[in-house]
Amino acid sequence: MKNLKLFISFFSLLTLFSFGCSTSTAQQTNSGSSEFEIAPQEYVDITKKAMAHIENFEFPQWYTMLSDDFEFYLPDGDEGTRTSIIGKKANMEFWNSYQEKSGNTKMIVTNPVYLPVVAKKELNYTKLSGVIVLAYFSNEFHYGNEKANVRMNWGFHFNADKKIDKIYTYYDRTPIIEAAKRNFLSKENN
């Protein structure tokens, strides 16, 4: 039963990341190979290291793992409305002030699950192909005496140099906004 739940979680995450990829991952293309295959373990190792840096607010160490054209997508909207931070320099400015602006003083990541895949063709929503590590985990955010527990889905995309060039995040921000007593992404808080 636990394996079935894990499979359903991964399939749901992959569906979220690709937003309706036109064919099932199990369906075979005319060439006989599936649209997805398992990516090498080293991409999971890179993702785990990146997640540890983020969890511990070790942003300068995390920046060394990012491409110059790195993009980070927050879950506060849809394709055209969500907050996106484009470029490594813009991300460094955002994350260097993250704790002060958000009020987040501590994060504890638990129960992580990683699925490394190679998308052999462009995904509908992201228009990405190549190596993607889907990460599914719980995150406990601390805001002074308040806490927010959120189950999160992140998709890490890698370039040919094994640098992270995009991260797409999907999660319900409501518990975070309630615990922080503010929406630090709103225009009036920036």
Q: Which residue has the higher pLDDT, 179 or 76?
A: 179
pLDDT at 122: 77
Range of the structural domain that residue 101 is part of: 2-189
Range 139-147 average pLDDT: 96
Distance CA 47, CA 112 (A): 11
pLDDT at 187: 63
Split into its structural domains, the chain has a count of: 1
pLDDT at 125: 73
- Burial of residue 127 (CB within 10 Å: 0-12, 13-18, 19+) is exposed
Q: With a cut of 70, say whether residue 189 has pLDDT above it.
A: no
The residue type of 148 is A
Range 47-51 average pLDDT: 98
3-state SS string over the chain? CHHHHHHHHHHHHHHHHHCCCCCCCCCECCCCCECEEECCHHHHHHHHHHHHHHHCCCHHHHHCCEEEEEEEECCCCCCCCCCEEECHHHHHHHHHCHHHHHCCCEEEEEEEEEEEEEECCCCCCCCCCEEEEEEEEEEEEEECCEEEEEEEEEEEEECCCCCEEEEEEECCCHHHHHHHCCCCCCHHHC
pTM score of the predicted model: 0.80
Neighbours of 43 (CB within 10 A): 21
Residues across the chain: 190
Task: Give me the phi and psi of 181, to 5 degrees please.
Answer: 60, 30
pLDDT at 188: 54
Region of poorest pLDDT, from 21-35, 99-113, 133-147:
21-35
Instruction: Report the side by side order of strands in the sheet with 164-170.
Output: 36-38, 106-119, 130-143, 146-158, 164-170, 66-73, 84-86
pLDDT at 26: 39
pLDDT at 27: 39
Instruction: Say which CATH number the domain at 33 has.
Output: 3.10.450.50
- Mean pLDDT (the chain) is 84
pLDDT band at residue 172, thresholds of 50, 70 and 90? Answer: very high
pLDDT at 5: 46
Q: With a cut of 50, say whether residue 29 has pLDDT above it.
A: no
Contact 165, 85 (CB under 8 A): no
pLDDT at 3: 45
pLDDT at 127: 77
Region of poorest pLDDT, from 7-16, 57-66, 106-115:
7-16
Neighbours of 17 (CB within 10 A): 23
Q: With a cut of 60, say whether residue 2 has pLDDT above it.
A: no
Range 89-93 average pLDDT: 97
Q: With a cut of 90, say whether residue 167 has pLDDT above it.
A: yes
